[in-house]
């Protein structure tokens, strides 16, 4: 069982490494050839609006950005490949 699954099964919140999250956003932006959002966390300590817009526009997953969990992106890619919408 992964750390993510173990924490989820125990009802625990996964710790978020914001440096890693920023690196994932930059990596994703570099791969798809767009500019990364300037902020990932807003003044209210929630995901920044520009990050949300980035995710909507590129298909990046907040789960992957903040937790490193790629499952949502894999499922969405599979749906698109099968002719559905993500």
Band the pLDDT of 49: cuts 50, 70, 90. Answer: very high
pLDDT score at 51? 98
pLDDT score at 60? 92
Structural domains counted in the chain: 1
Domain region containing 75? 16-81
pTM of the predicted protein model: 0.76
Residue 45 lies in a domain: yes
Contacts of 3-8 with CB under 8 Å at 24 or more apart are 4/67, 4/68, 4/69
Count of CA atoms in the C-beta half-sphere (13 A) of 33:
0
| Phi–psi pair at 64, nearest 5 degrees | -70, -45
Band the pLDDT of 1: cuts 50, 70, 90. Answer: very low
Report pLDDT digits (tens) over 4-48.
555 555 677 778 999 999 999 999 999 999 999 999 999 999 999
Residue 8 lies in a domain: no
Residue 6 lies in a domain: no
Residue 2 lies in a domain: no
């Amino acid at each position: 069982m992964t750390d993510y699954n173990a924490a989820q099964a125990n009802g625990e919140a996964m710790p978020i490494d914001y440096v890693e999250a920023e690196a994932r956003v930059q990596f994703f932006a570099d791969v798809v050839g767009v500019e990364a959002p300037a902020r990932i966390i807003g003044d209210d300590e929630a995901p920044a609006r520009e990050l949300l817009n980035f995710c909507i526009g590129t298909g990046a997953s907040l789960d992957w950005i903040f937790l490193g969990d790629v499952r949502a992106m894999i499922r969405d890619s599979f749906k698109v490949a099968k002719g559905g919408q993500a």
